C-alpha cells in the first residue's frame, strides 16, 4: 500500500487530502490569483476612465482594457479558482482519490495556455471585440483559439469531478449519502458540461469564420449560443459560491442544512432550470417569440429563482441553527450579532451572501423580466447588477474560502491576517457601492462599454444631466476602494504562499470560536427551546429580501408604464 | 447523529424527513411571489402598453439599406425655402413619414442614418436594423433600449406620449468609434404648434 504517501491528513482540521489534489488546487489558485491581479489592474484602468472627472485612458486603450478585464476576471479568475477548489470538494469530504490526476494537469495547462493566448491577443489590440465578441465584429483567430482551449480544459475538469465521485461511490469510500458540499460541486460539474460544450459549439465555427474558412456566422444565432456559454458560466459561479457558503458555515460553526431535502432540491432546481437564464440576454433582441421569452425568462415558471430563494433561507438558517445549538439563542439575532465578524472567513461568507442576495439577486430577477429588460438593456445597470453577483458575491466568497483553504493546503499560516480582515470589508463595500451607483446611472440611461458619455466628438452633441457625472464618480470611487481590498487579499495570498511551512497550527482560528463566545455570554446556561420556529432570524431576513424584491419590481413596472407605447 | 455540510449524512432516510415549519413558510411565500411575477409578465403582454417581443424578419443588408435610402429620398423634411433639412457636420437628414407608415432606421458605424420627426400620439411602424455590426438603440431620456442585429428587421410600433427632443445613443459596443454614435429624434405636436424651431430644438420647450 502506498496510501501513506498518497494522502495527507491536516493535523489542525483532521481533513484528509489526496496528495495530487493539494498540488492541483495550489496551481489552479495561483493561476487564478494572477488573473485577478491582471484583471483587477485592467478594471482600475476602466474605472479611472469612466470616472468622468478623470477620464484617464485614450479610447482605444479603454476598449482594450475593458475587453481584457472581462476575460481575465469573469472567465479566467473565476473558473481557474473554481476548478482548483472543485477538486477539493469532490475528494476530501467523501474520502476519495482524484480519478485521473494526470488528465487534470493536462486540463490545467490547457486552461493556462488558452487563457494566456487570449489575453495576449486582447492586450496587443488584436481582439478589441469585448468579452462577448459578437460577430460580425472580428478578432484575431488566436483569440478564439485561446478561448476554445480554455473551454476544453475546463470541460475536462468537469468530467474528472464526476468520474471521481462515481469512483468513490463504487469503491464505497464513504458511508451514507454524500455531503451537501459534494452534492453542490456535482451540480456544478453537470452544469459545467453543457456550458462549456455550448462554448465549443459556437466558438469553433466562429474561429473558422475568423480564418475565412466559413463565410458567415449568423449574429443572432451566435448571441443565443454564446450566452449558453457566458451566462451559464455565471450559473456555475453561483453553484460553487453556494457550496462555499454551506462549507464555510460547516467549518466555522459545525453547521448543516436545516433540511437536506430542501437544500438538495434547490440544487436540483438549478440543474434543470438555470440554463434558461441564457435567454435573458436576448430579451430586447429581434428574433424570438413571446412564448419563448416567457418560458425562458421565467426559468420555466421561476424554478431557478425558487432554488436561489431556498438557499437564501437555508444558508443563514444553517448558521443560525448551529449558533443557537452552541448557546447563542437569545432573541432573534444574537446568533448574528455575536458571530465572528473579525474573522474574514465569516465576514466574507456573510457579506457575500447579503450582497449577492440584495444587490445581485433582486436586480437579476427584476431585469430578467421580459418587459422590464428593455429599460435597462445594455445600460450601466447591467455591469452594476453583475458586479453585485460576480464580484460582491462570488469573488468575495472566493476570498473567504481562500483564507480558510490556502493555509491548510500550503501548511503555512495566513499572512497578514489584519489585511485579510480589512480586505473583505473594503472589497465588499466598494463593490456594493459600484453596483448601486452604476445601476442608478443605468436607470438614467448611461450606456455600458462606452468611452465618453459627454459625446465630445459626436456629430450630434449630447450631454447627460450633472447627476449622471456624480453617480458615475461615486460608482468608480467604489471601485478604487474595492481595489484596495483586492490588493490586501493579493498581499495576504502572496505572503501565505511564500511563508514558512509550519508543522502544526497552519489553520489557526482567526476569531473566538462560537462555543467560547456563547459560554462567556451566558455562562453555559441553556435557554429554553420553545416550540416556535427553528430559525426565526433567518426567516425574517429572507422575508425582508422578498419585500425589497416586491417593492423594487413594482417600481420598475410603474416606470415602464409611463413610457411610449411599444408593440 | 451529528454531522456537517462537509460530511456524509449518516442516516439513510433523510429524504423522508419532513422540512421544518420555517422552510415550509418560506417556500410558500417565495414561490407564491414567483407565481405573481409570472402572472404579471404574461398579463402585461396582453394588457400592458410596452412589449418588445414584436415581429422580426430576416433581411439582407443591401435590401434594408435600400429601404432606408428610399424613405429618406421620399420623406426628408424641407424648410420654408424648400431646402432639405439636416443636422450636424455630416448632414444627417431629418425625416418625417406620415403617421401609421414605416420608418426604416439603419444603424451603421457610427451613425443612426437619419433623424426621425414624429407626431405626438401617432403610431409609427419602426424597422430597426443594422447595416454592419450589432448596435444598441437607446432612446433617452426615457431609456428605451433595443438590440439591433444585422440581417434582422426588428419591427415595433412606437406611439410617443410626450413631445420633446430625444437622444439616441448606441449602447452596444460597435467598434473603436462606438462613443461617437449619437443620434436624435423629435416628437412634435403640429396641432398645438409645438414644431421644429430650425435650431435643433422645438418651439415651446425651451430647448
pLDDT single digits (tens) A508-567: 777 777 777 777 776 655 555 556 789 999 999 999 999 999 999 999 999 999 999 999
pLDDT given for residue B138 in this prediction: 97
Range 27-66 of B in CB contact (< 8 A) with A? 27, 29-31, 33-38, 40-42, 44-45, 48-54, 56
What is the span of the domain harbouring residue B34?
A: 14-47
| Tally of domains within chain A | 1
At residue A504 the predicted structure's pLDDT band, cuts being 50, 70 and 90, is confident
The secondary structure of B94-129 as a DSSP string is: EE-PPTTSEEEEEEBTTB-S-EEEEETT--EEEEEE
Annotate A376-406 with three-state secondary structure. CCCECHHHHHHHHHHHHHHHHHHHHHHHHHH
pLDDT single digits (tens) A464-496: 999 999 999 999 999 999 999 999 999 999 999
Same domain, B176 and B148: yes
pLDDT given for residue A529 in this prediction: 54
Asked, for residue A209, whether it belongs to a domain, the answer is yes
pLDDT given for residue A530 in this prediction: 54
The rounded distance, in Å, linking the Cα atoms of B50 and A283 is 13
Same domain, B28 and B116: no
- Of the candidates A378, A387, A506, the one whose C-alpha atom is nearest the C-alpha of residue A447 is A378
CA-to-CA dists, residue A357 to A180, A316, B3, B160, angstroms? 21, 12, 27, 37
Give the residue-averaged pLDDT of B48-58: 94
Same domain, B36 and B94: no
B51: nearest CB among A63, A251, A371? A371
A176 contacts on B by Cβ (under 8 Å)? 8-12
A534: nearest CB among B22, B29, B88? B22
Asked, for residue A139, whether it belongs to a domain, the answer is yes
pLDDT single digits (tens) A258-316: 999 999 999 999 998 888 888 899 999 998 889 998 888 877 768 889 999 999 999 99
Asked, for residue B110, whether it belongs to a domain, the answer is yes
- Contact call for B26 and A462, based on CB within 8 A: no
At residue A155 the predicted structure's pLDDT band, cuts being 50, 70 and 90, is very high
Same domain, B78 and B30: no
Asked if A463 has any chain B CB less than 8 Å from its own CB, the reply is: no
CATH number at residue A152: 1.20.210.10
The residue count of chain B comes to 207
Instruction: Find the DSSP H helices in A254-298.
Output: 260-273, 290-297
Same domain, B187 and B99: yes
Asked, for residue B64, whether it belongs to a domain, the answer is yes
The rounded distance, in Å, linking the Cα atoms of A402 and A408 is 10
The rounded distance, in Å, linking the Cα atoms of A285 and B57 is 12
Give every strand in the sheet of B144-148, ordered side by side: B86-87, B92-95, B115-119, B182-188, B164-170, B135-140, B144-148
Same domain, B42 and B112: no
B174 contacts on A by Cβ (under 8 Å)? 137
Give the residue-averaged pLDDT of A12-18: 93
Same domain, B81 and B183: yes
- Contact call for A564 and B142, based on CB within 8 A: yes
Asked if residue B181 has pLDDT above 80, the reply is: yes
When mean pLDDT is compared across A191-195, A427-431, B14-18, B145-149, the lowest value belongs to B14-18
pLDDT given for residue B14 in this prediction: 86
Asked if A141 has any chain B CB less than 8 Å from its own CB, the reply is: no
What is the span of the domain harbouring residue A118?
A: 11-217
What mean pLDDT, rounded, does chain A reach?
A: 93
Asked, for residue A465, whether it belongs to a domain, the answer is no
pLDDT given for residue A525 in this prediction: 56
- ipTM confidence: 0.95
Distance from CA of B123 to the nearest CA of A (A): 9
- HSE on the CB side for A62, CA within 13 Å? 23
Asked if residue A3 has pLDDT above 80, the reply is: no
Same domain, B38 and B68: no
At residue B207 the predicted structure's pLDDT band, cuts being 50, 70 and 90, is very low
- Contact call for B134 and A219, based on CB within 8 A: yes
Asked if residue A16 has pLDDT above 90, the reply is: yes
pLDDT given for residue B206 in this prediction: 46
Asked, for residue B201, whether it belongs to a domain, the answer is no
At residue A503 the predicted structure's pLDDT band, cuts being 50, 70 and 90, is confident
At residue B205 the predicted structure's pLDDT band, cuts being 50, 70 and 90, is low
Amino acid at each position: 500500500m502506498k496510501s501513506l504517501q498518497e494522502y495527507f491528513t491536516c493535523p489542525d482540521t483532521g481533513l484528509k487530502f489526496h496528495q495530487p489534489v493539494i498540488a492541483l488546487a495550489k496551481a489552479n489558485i495561483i493561476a487564478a490569483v494572477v488573473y485577478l491581479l491582471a484583471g483587477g489592474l485592467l478594471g482600475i484602468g476602466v474605472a479611472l476612465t469612466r470616472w468622468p472627472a478623470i477620464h484617464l485612458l485614450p479610447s482605444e486603450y479603454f476598449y482594450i482594457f475593458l475587453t481584457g478585464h472581462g476575460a481575465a476576471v469573469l472567465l479566467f479568475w473565476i473558473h481557474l479558482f473554481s476548478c482548483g477548489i472543485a477538486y477539493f470538494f469532490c475528494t476530501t469530504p467523501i474520502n476519495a482519490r482524484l480519478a485521473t490526476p494526470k488528465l487534470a494537469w493536462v486540463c490545467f495547462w490547457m486552461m493556462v495556455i488558452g487563457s494566456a493566448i487570449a489575453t495576449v491577443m486582447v492586450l496587443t489590440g488584436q481582439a478589441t471585440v469585448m468579452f462577448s465578441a459578437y460577430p460580425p465584429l472580428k478578432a484575431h483567430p488566436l483569440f478564439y483559439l485561446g478561448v476554445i482551449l480554455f473551454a476544453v480544459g475546463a470541460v475536462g475538469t468537469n468530467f474528472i469531478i464526476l468520474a471521481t465521485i462515481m469512483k468513490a461511490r463504487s469503491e464505497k469510500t464513504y458511508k451514507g449519502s454524500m455531503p451537501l458540499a459534494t452534492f453542490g460541486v456535482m451540480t456544478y460539474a453537470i452544469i459545467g458540461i453543457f456550458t462549456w460544450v455550448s462554448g465549443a459549439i459556437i466558438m469553433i465555427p466562429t474561429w473558422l469564420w475568423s480564418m475565412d474558412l466559413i463565410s458567415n456566422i449568423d449574429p443572432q444565432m451566435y448571441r443565443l449560443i454564446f450566452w449558453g456559454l457566458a451566462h451559464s458560466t455565471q450559473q456555475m459561479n453561483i453553484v460553487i459560491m453556494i457550496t462555499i457558503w454551506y462549507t464555510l458555515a460547516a467549518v466555522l460553526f459545525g453547521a448543516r442544512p436545516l433540511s437536506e431535502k430542501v437544500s438538495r432540491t434547490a440544487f436540483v432546481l438549478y440543474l434543470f432550470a438555470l440554463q434558461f437564464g441564457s435567454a435573458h440576454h436576448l430579451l430586447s433582441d429581434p428574433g424570438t417569440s413571446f412564448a419563448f421569452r416567457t418560458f425562458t425568462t421565467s426559468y420555466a415558471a421561476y424554478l431557478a429563482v425558487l432554488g436561489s430563494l431556498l438557499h437564501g433561507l437555508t444558508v443563514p438558517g444553517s448558521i443560525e441553527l448551529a449558533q443557537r445549538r452552541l448557546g447563542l439563542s437569545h432573541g432573534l439575532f444574537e446568533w448574528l450579532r455575536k458571530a465572528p465578524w473579525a474573522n474574514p472567513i465569516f465576514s466574507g461568507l456573510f457579506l457575500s451572501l447579503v450582497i449577492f442576495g440584495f444587490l445581485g439577486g433582486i436586480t437579476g430577477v427584476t431585469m430578467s423580466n421580459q418587459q422590464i429588460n428593455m429599460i435597462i438593456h445594455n445600460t450601466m445597470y447591467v455591469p452594476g447588477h453583475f458586479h453585485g453577483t460576480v464580484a460582491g458575491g462570488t469573488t468575495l466568497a472566493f476570498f473567504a474560502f481562500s483564507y480558510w483553504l490556502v493555509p491548510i493546503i500550503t501548511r503555512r499560516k495566513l499572512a497578514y491576517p489584519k489585511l485579510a480582515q480589512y480586505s473583505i470589508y473594503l472589497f465588499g463595500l466598494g463593490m456594493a457601492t459600484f453596483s448601486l451607483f452604476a445601476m442608478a446611472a443605468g436607470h438614467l440611461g448611461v450606456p455600458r462599454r462606452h468611452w465618453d458619455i459627454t459625446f465630445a466628438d459626436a456629430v450630434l452633441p449630447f450631454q447627460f444631466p450633472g447627476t449622471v457625472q456624480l453617480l458615475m464618480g461615486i460608482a468608480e470611487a467604489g471601485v478604487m476602494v474595492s481595489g484596495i481590498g483586492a490588493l490586501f487579499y493579493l498581499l495576504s495570498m502572496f505572503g501565505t504562499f511564500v511563508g514558512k511551512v509550519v508543522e502544526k497550527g497552519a489553520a489557526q482560528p482567526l476569531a473566538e470560536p462560537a462555543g467560547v463566545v456563547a459560554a462567556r455570554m451566558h455562562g453555559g446556561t441553556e435557554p429554553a427551546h420553545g416550540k416556535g420556529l427553528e430559525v426565526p432570524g433567518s426567516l425574517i431576513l429572507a422575508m425582508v429580501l422578498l419585500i425589497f424584491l416586491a417593492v423594487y419590481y413594482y417600481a420598475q413596472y410603474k416606470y415602464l408604464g409611463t413610457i411610449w407605447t411599444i408593440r | 447523529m451529528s454531522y456537517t455540510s462537509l460530511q456524509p449524512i449518516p442516516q439513510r432516510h433523510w429524504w423522508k424527513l419532513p422540512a421544518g415549519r420555517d422552510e415550509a413558510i418560506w417556500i410558500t411565500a417565495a414561490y407564491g411571489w414567483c407565481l405573481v411575477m409570472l402572472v404579471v409578465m404574461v398579463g402585461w403582454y396582453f394588457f400592458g402598453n410596452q412589449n418588445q417581443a414584436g415581429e422580426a424578419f430576416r433581411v439582407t443588408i443591401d435590401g434594408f439599406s435600400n429601404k432606408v435610402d428610399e424613405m429618406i429620398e421620399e420623406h426628408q423634411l424641407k424648410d420654408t425655402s424648400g431646402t432639405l433639412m439636416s443636422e450636424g457636420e455630416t448632414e444627417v437628414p431629418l425625416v418625417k413619414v406620415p403617421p401609421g407608415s414605416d420608418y426604416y432606421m439603419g444603424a451603421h458605424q457610427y451613425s443612426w442614418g437619419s433623424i426621425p420627426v414624429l407626431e405626438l400620439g401617432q403610431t409609427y411602424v419602426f424597422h430597426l436594423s443594422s447595416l454592419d455590426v450589432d448596435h444598441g438603440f437607446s432612446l433617452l431620456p426615457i431609456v428605451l433600449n433595443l438590440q439591433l442585429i444585422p440581417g434582422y428587421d426588428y419591427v415595433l410600433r412606437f406611439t410617443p406620449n410626450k413631445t420633446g427632443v430625444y437622444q439616441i445613443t448606441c449602447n452596444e459596443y460597435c467598434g473603436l468609434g462606438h462613443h461617437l454614435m449619437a443620434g436624435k429624434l423629435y416628437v412634435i405636436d403640429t396641432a398645438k404648434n409645438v414644431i421644429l424651431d430650425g435650431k435643433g430644438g422645438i418651439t415651446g420647450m425651451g430647448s
